[in-house]
Amino acid sequence: MVDNKKLRVMVVDDTVVYRKILSDVLSGLSDVTVVGTAHNGRVALSRIASLKPDLLTLDIEMPEMNGLELLVNMRKMFPEVGAIMVSTLTLKGGDMTMEALELGAFDFITKPQSGTMEENKKEIQSSLIPMVKAFSRRREIRGILKGKITSGPDKNILAGSGTAMKSVEKRAGARKAKSSIVGIGISTGGPNALARMMPKLPGNLGVPILIVQHMPAVFTQSLAKSLNSRCAMEIREAVDGEPLRPNCALIAPGGKQMKVVAGADGKNRVIRITDDPPENSCKPSVDYLFRSVGQHYVGRATGIIMTGMGRDGTLGLKLMKRNGAITIAQDERSCVVFGMPRESIKAGVVDVIAPLDKIAEEICRTIQ
């Protein structure tokens, strides 16, 4: 008999060491049951029906059937089963991970590059456990919204977030100056959300866009390449010292911080990429970017907080709003994880709450 209270997870990896590490980390969680393992996608696919997992930790590069091929089959045969990708920190791994996220994977972690087995276990533990808990929470919320959960403490998950359940709940008041820049902060579920939202923006938007997506080095380059291939405007990873240009979206490089500074002429603004410490355990950090946007574009900026875990971006959005920015948050129903938007909404620094499919329209309103 299936235990509906515990999250059922299958570990899929072609390396014995990582099957062991991932299984040990997951088995240490009281609300998780490891229902089985598989050494490639083909074996995993054959076991899903009998093991009934809610979630797979899924290695990307495997023999016979890799993680991407398994995801394609899962979408057809087992669409309710989630996946957290386990990727190598390489350009190939980054490209494949972006494709996996676009196919519907919940999120990803990277395999440690070096260290002992115990050190690697601790590194994976620190990134995987919050992700699994976020996936479990999203699953519970979806159950509530579908009416599958009618009693018990899980009903309280939505307490205090009723405001965010309604799209475009608040509309910003009139502002004399239109926005001259757009800043976006996003995390878990971001690549897929950006892939849906950014193509809706016109190529002649007329202002620059700056994006912080919580990701390690290399992966932001893959994200920029993927988005650039499907959008009307230019999208790429930011370079230190480059001037801000209209109709160009710059993504903060993974493992670095990105901010706006005054150019040498005192009039134009340029990008500064730094190695400053993490903020909110994030590097790049949304707060770090938003503070600089708020300081350099007083009364003429748009700040957007989208799907993601944690509270990064709330303090930066607060400064932007205090300096006259229009602020937008993604609504709960369309978020993969309603963490970052929830914190900003609770802090009272959001002007507009909108579903993912309406965010591009809301951006254009602040500019046009």
Among the listed residues 23, 179, 187, 226, the single catalytic one is: 187
Among the listed residues 312, 331, 334, 351, the single catalytic one is: 312
> Can you read off the two tokens belonging to residue 70?
């398994």
Active-site residue flag, 136: no
Cα distance between residue 62 and residue 272, in whole Å:
39
Are 60 and 66 in contact, with CB atoms under 8 Å apart? yes
Kindly report the backbone phi and psi dihedral angles of residue 269, in degrees, each rounded to the nearest multiple of 5, phi listed first: -115, 145
Active-site residue flag, 312: yes
> Can you read off the two tokens belonging to residue 273?
């990429």
Query: Any residues with CB less than 8 A from the CB of 269 and at least 6 apart, and which?
Result: 243, 244, 260, 261, 262, 263, 296, 297
Kindly report the backbone phi and psi dihedral angles of residue 78, in degrees, each rounded to the nearest multiple of 5, phi listed first: -135, 65
- SS3 of 5-70: CCEEEEEECCCHHHHHHHHHHHHCCCCEEEEEEECCHHHHHHHHHHHCCCEEEEECCCCCCCHHHH
Are 56 and 9 in contact, with CB atoms under 8 Å apart? yes
Active-site residue flag, 50: no
Among the listed residues 214, 285, 292, 296, the single catalytic one is: 214
Cα distance between residue 209 and residue 236, in whole Å:
11
From the CB of residue 195, how many other CB atoms can be counted at a distance below 10 Å?
A: 18
**Known catalytic residues?**
187, 214, 312
